[in-house]
Each structure stands twice: as structure tokens, then as C-alpha cells.
Amino acid sequence: MLLSLSVQNYALIEHLEIDFSNQFSTITGETGAGKSILLGALGLIMGNRADLSSLKDKEKKCVVEATFQIEKYNLIPLFEEQGLDYENTTIIRREILPSGKSRAFVNDTPVNLAEVQLLAEHLLDIHSQQETRELEQQNYQLAIIDAIGDNSQLLKQYTLELAYYKKAQKELENLLIERDKNSKEQDYNIFLLNELEQAQLKSGEQKELESELESLNNVELINESLNKLVAFANEEQIGFISILKDAKQALSKITNFSSSYQEIFERLQSTLIELEDIVETSQMLAEKVVFDPERIAYVSSRLQTIYDLQKKHQVASIEELIQIQESLSITVNRNSDLSNCIQKLEQDVATKEMVISQIALVLRENREEAIPKLTIKVEEILTDLGMPNAKFQINLIPSETFLNTGKDIVELLFSANKGTNFGLIKKVASGGEMSRIMLAIKSILADYTKLPTIIFDEIDTGVSGEIALKMGDIMKGMSAKRQVFAITHLPQIAAKGNQHYKVFKYNEGLTTLSKIVVLSQEERIKEIAEMLSGKELTESAINHAKTLLN
């Protein structure tokens, strides 16, 4: 409930602090006295946008602060979700700076307007004739039926399952698109992969084959060169092996004379050993070097296969071809896995669709059961409000697709008089009729939902007499379970309030100011008498006012 309101430097209000009753409060005042200013200040608390025109003194900031008692509203999850500190007594503050910048705070924590609006939805419901337009909206109509049908938990379950269903549908759609795209390339990718796999490529193979082919194509030269080396080494008289052996023999005679001679001898010995090994290896290689046309053909063919693959894939090494092969393998296998994933997702989507359909069916059954209850109650209240012939017809039209609230499209039909055909309520109901219908619905919802503080802004426009009394009774009855305000011009309704506030303008120097005060019993009698007879109070008006208050 709204405990108090503090306003500084807003429109015609210089400074205002007011506490409120937790029951039925009525607010009266002459046209232009500032009731709309009060609603505007509350609108800032609800997250409405503001500009510099709201500032009374353009050199000072405007501050509007509202204090709420919220322990019965079960808002702790909402506060946690928004990262706000929860307090049973919560304060919302809006500030408009002379620069035009606006700031908002919840329990002194800075917040953005979206967060203020989300929180305010659970705290204040300002209802005027303009707000009756929401009754024309299907979502609101369905929300009324769901409140009567106690569908809140089912709707939460439906919303959760619908989110899972849509997510699975989207994943399936993406996989199908990917499969269709890949299927056009799959055959070619399989062909390329098979071609590379059949080539049985090995890292480093190309260099080995190119070197081998070079050798095979130069057998005669290699053989000749190796044999010459062996001949030069082993010639009996001039072969360098024989010469080195003779030199070694000569040096061996002087090694004992100096370590330097010994070192030369050892170096010659090492050189001889190395040369003998070179000659032996060359002789072995020469024996292996043979002209092999078949091997040349194989190596040439193998290299040509590698070159062709490199040209096709526009790379220059076997290593790059191997990388392409691995990538193609992943792609081909991915497409195979896609089919399995798609099959599994199709099963999941079908299962989720069955679950959602079942929930939607229960929602419809509950709605069909709630509709007669709602219709009867609304028609009974409207009879008391001077519309004895008002009739409602609420139809549920099955939807082919899943909607956010099930698979039902609601059609609210209305007839105000006997002998008139039913028509869509937004087309056939007048403004005054819509106001009374909305009041009836709000009073019914009060028994089924935890409505926030309700402010009825001149909802009684166009009614008087006994109907006004009935409207006052309905609003007062609603206040038994929640805080209710009624801004009214009718004395019959003003007298129903547990607490009566008056909004008025007054002059202070050269400035016009607006103020709201709570009236005493004597002040209430005077205010209601003035509403009955004008400024010229008569004894009859005063007595009538006392009667209304009693």
C-alpha cells in the first residue's frame, strides 16, 4: 500500500507531504485544482518520462518520493532478479534536475526507468476512463478469465515449456538449413575425401620421392662418380689410401720424439679411417645403383598424383593436403552427425509439442469453466450499476498456433439493451458503460488476485444518484482487501471514504500553489455540502451531507 507521498518543486506544488489511509480514500477538488498534478507526480513514481516543464522553479530540482508497505506483495524474487535491496517499507524516488536529467532510486539504489516501471506495476494501478481501453485488448480479456480460472501456475508452466519448445524449434530449423546447405556439397566433399584417402599421403614423402627420382634419372653419372672415387682411393701406386698409409708409416717412426708429431700422426690416422669408410660406403652405393625403369615409372606416377592434388587444392605441400583431408573428414562426418541430431531434435520437438498442447487444453478447460462465473458476476454488478439488461458473451476460438498464453483467442461480445445484437465490446460499449464494466471487473478480480493500490480517476463520470452510491459501495468493498483511492466529483462517492482528501489551489504573493489536505469530519460535511449545492451552503445541503456521511 501507499503510505505517504512527498513532492517538491513539481508543477504548482512547492512542497507537499501527505500520509494515506490503508482503506478507502476519496479525493475531491474543483476542476483545475491540481488533482491531475497529483496523478502526474504518482506517474513519475511509476516511471513516466518527465521534462523541465514539470519544474515549478527551473533553478531547483524536482523531487517526488513515495513510500510503500510491500511485505504482503511477495516481491522478494522481483527485487533479487533486479539486483535491488528488499525492504518491507520501500521508497521510490524520482529527481528531475534543472539540466533536464532525470534520476530514479529504489531504497536509495540508482535504477533505470525500466526497473521503476517493472516494480511500479506491482504497486500502483491508476485507472481512468482512458485505461478502460485495455479492456478492448485480448491479452487483458484473457488475463481476467485466467484470474477467475486460477490459471497462474498453469500459465507459468506453459510459458516455461513454450520457451523450451521454441528454442528446440529454432535449433532444429538451423540444423535443417545447415543440412540443406551442406547436402549440396556433400557428394563433392566425399569425392575429394576419398581421393585424398586413396592417395595415402605421408608427411615428408614428397621430398623423399623427388630425391629418389633425381637419383634414378642420373644412374650412369652417379655410378661413374662413385666408381672413380673408389678407383682413386685403391690404385696400387697412386691411390690416396696407399699414399696415406705410406705417410702414416713414415710418421709412426717419429711419434716418440714429440707430442706434436704424435698429434699429427693421430690426425692422419683419423683421416685415413674416415677416408676408408667413405670409400667403403661409396663402393656399397655403387653396387646398389642400378637402372630400374619400373621404379622410375612408379615414383614419377606417385609424384604426379601428389602434384595433381596440390594443384587441385591450390597448395604447395603434402602437409597442407593432409590438413585439407582432416578438414574434409570432419565436414563429412558432421553431416552424418547432423542427421542423427536432427532426428533427435525432431523427437524432442514432437514431445514438447504434446506437453504444451496438453497444458493448453487444461487452460482452455479452466477458461471455459471460468467464463460463466465471470459473466454472471459482471452482469449482477452491472445490474446494480444501472445496466440491468447488460449481457456478455465470451467465446474462446481455438488457435492453430501456440500463442504466449495458450491456444485460445478470446472474443468478448456485449449487448447493453434488450433486443440489441451482441457486438465486440470495443465497438458497441460507450465510454460510461466501459467505465462501469471495468469497475465491475476490477471488483471481481479483487477477490481472485493480489491487486496493488488502485486509484480510480473520475471513473464515475456520467453517473449520478443511486448508481453513484452503488459505485461507491463497490469501491469501498474492494478496500476491505487492498488500498483504494477514488478521485471524484460526486458527493455520494466522496462520502463513502474512510478518509477524505481535498485538493485545492491558493495564491501566495504572486504565485499560485496547489495543495492536498486530509479533511476533518466537520470539513468533510462542508466539502460534501458544497459538492451538493455549490459555494452557497444551505441547511438542506448540510443535512444531506451529514446523511450521506452517516
Domain ranges within the chain, ordered by starting residue: 1-123+452-519, 177-337
Q: What nine digits make up the cell of 441?
A: 471487473
Q: Count of CB atoms within 10 A of residue 344's CB? A: 12
> Is the domain 1-123+452-519 a CATH 3.40.50.2300 member?
no
Strands 62-69 and 2-10: antiparallel
Q: What nine digits make up the cell of 263?
A: 698429434
DSSP 88-138: SEEEEEEEE-TTS-EEEEETTEEE-HHHHHHHHTTTEEEEETGGGGGGGSH
Instruction: Identify the pLDDT of residue 131.
Output: 65
- Residues 235, 239, 243, 249: is their CA dihedral positive or negative? negative
353, burial (CB in 10 Å: exposed 0-12, middle 13-18, buried 19+): middle
- DSSP conformational letter for 459: T
φ/ψ (deg, to 5) at 13: -95, 120
Strands 124-128 and 89-96: unpaired
Alpha helices in 385-520 (DSSP H): 425-428, 431-445, 465-478, 491-494
Torsion of CA 462, 463, 465, 469, to 10 degrees: -140
Instruction: Identify the pLDDT of residue 367.
Output: 96
Instruction: Identify the pLDDT of residue 221.
Output: 81
Instruction: Identify the pLDDT of residue 58.
Output: 86
Report the alpha-carbon distance of residue 391 to residue 417 in Å, rounded.
Answer: 8
Q: What nine digits make up the cell of 414?
A: 456485449
- List the one residue out of 408, 380, 374, 409 whose CA is nearest residue 393: 374
Mean pLDDT by 10 residues, the chain (550 residues): 93 90 90 84 90 83 94 89 92 92 93 92 82 81 93 94 94 86 75 88 87 76 79 75 82 86 89 88 77 80 89 90 88 76 91 95 96 95 91 93 94 90 88 86 86 86 82 91 91 93 88 90 94 87 91
Q: What nine digits make up the cell of 467?
A: 448508481
Cα dist from 71 to 76, 87, 88, 90, whole Å: 9, 8, 5, 9
